[in-house]
Structure 1
């Protein structure tokens, strides 16, 4: 019941972020760490808002499905480094095909010695390679549920960083949705810890009972 309540809270948080914007909340800092100089910000329509929320939800859903399928894969092929390398290779091929279809102006593919090149290198080595290896390791150690439930928290971290470091205004719906996501995460993890305690307690009591029987038989 706790896991089910946590999943419902997470789903409610995503729906609140997607369909309710509410009033904007201005950043607390007048001079953020990384101020943007893009001029006036365009108005975001409701269609763009919903589509922009739907795409990360779809990405998170497919990622969670892969994490669940990764557990039986690692049991059959326990080499996490090779599995991660193959995953990155085929992901790069698929992304290249999609990029060619979407953006056919190859002049926009050029990289210079600027922040764009640094973003590409960071995404390749840390946000993809290292992240996928750590996710495989965590899924093998704690199971897919533990790892999957942390995925929606990335949206909350993104809101937090954009608010404090970039000086962007966030909306009340994003704050409420983030609170629901954190509450759902805590509910699932708390239920999982209780489930682990309930599984280990009978086994421990059985071991103690066998030990007492052996001592009694020795005394007799």
Structure 2
């Protein structure tokens, strides 16, 4: 519903708000912390501010259009007229709601993997319940079953790609990364999607890209990497503060181990 009111580029740019929403949810659940007196805490706060500014620019500023990269797009596609009125704002709002729900899903993967350490099992359960929910929604909103048929066209390719890569492989890789580095780190790599989407939508679909979407996307990416820098800085501080303690423990235990070895050697003699 949001893509019909905006464009693929705006949809990809709006997904860059996922790390901010993920960070805020993790902060509410006490999975993350912010120290405003430190540089890492200020970087996180600046990242949130830049992301909010990027979302506002996308919603309220369209700007001049940029010509498509290909005059004859690879796939037949008739670009829809872009509205800067209430429909555009409504589409952006729907994208933010979708990103917020996706952020909640990323956060909930951490306790889920504690109950189900097998990532393949967790992925299978998510796909199963997602398929059931999608089926119920599809039956409720589309009663004409003739539109459910798939032909040998780009629609079939999109379904296959979404099933194997966009859902199966994506869920498994995200679960693996969330278990290794946490939910915020997973969402930090979403800015790359904006670059690929701008190129693909302009080259393959002949879509008109708006300057406001690009500027908002740049602010979103800047905010995300500011948040990432603050996260990495906190990890470095934790590692630096933990190393002296480990060295001290090893130094305290080493004479004890030497004494035990001497006693064992004496008893053997």
Does TM, scored on the shorter chain, surpass 0.5?
A: yes
Identify the residue that residue 126 of structure 1 maps to in structure 2.
165
2:193 equivalent among 122, 137, 154: 154
Cα 1:35/1:123, change in 2 over 3 Å? closer
1:139 equivalent among 165, 178, 182: 178
Cα deviation for residue 213 of structure 1 reads 6.2
Identify the residue that residue 46 of structure 2 maps to in structure 1.
5
Cα deviation for residue 140 of structure 1 reads 0.5
Identify the residue that residue 70 of structure 1 maps to in structure 2.
109
Contact 2:74 2:203 in 1 (8 A): no
Contact 1:156 1:178 in 2 (8 A): no
2:113 counterpart of 1:87: no
Q: Structure 2 unaligned segments of length 5 or more: list them.
A: 1-41, 259-269
Q: TM-score, normalised by structure 1?
A: 0.86
1:34 equivalent among 59, 64, 74: 74
Q: Structure 1 unaligned segments of length 5 or more: list them.
A: none
Cα deviation for residue 143 of structure 1 reads 0.2
Cα deviation for residue 214 of structure 1 reads 6.9
Cα deviation for residue 11 of structure 1 reads 2.2
CA distance in 2, matches of 1:151, 1:108: 32
Identify the residue that residue 166 of structure 1 maps to in structure 2.
205
CA distance in 2, matches of 1:146, 1:6: 14
Q: Secondary structure at the match of 1:58?
A: helix
Cα deviation for residue 81 of structure 1 reads 0.7
Q: TM-score, normalised by structure 2?
A: 0.72
Contact 2:43 2:226 in 1 (8 A): yes
Cα 1:140/1:215, change in 2 over 3 Å? closer
CA distance in 2, matches of 1:184, 1:62: 20
Alignment of 1:137-216 (within 5 A): 137-151=176-190, 154-155=193-194, 157-210=196-249
Aligned length: 216
Contact 1:153 1:181 in 2 (8 A): no
Report the RMSD for the aligned CA atoms in angstroms: 2.4
2:137 equivalent among 98, 107, 117: 98
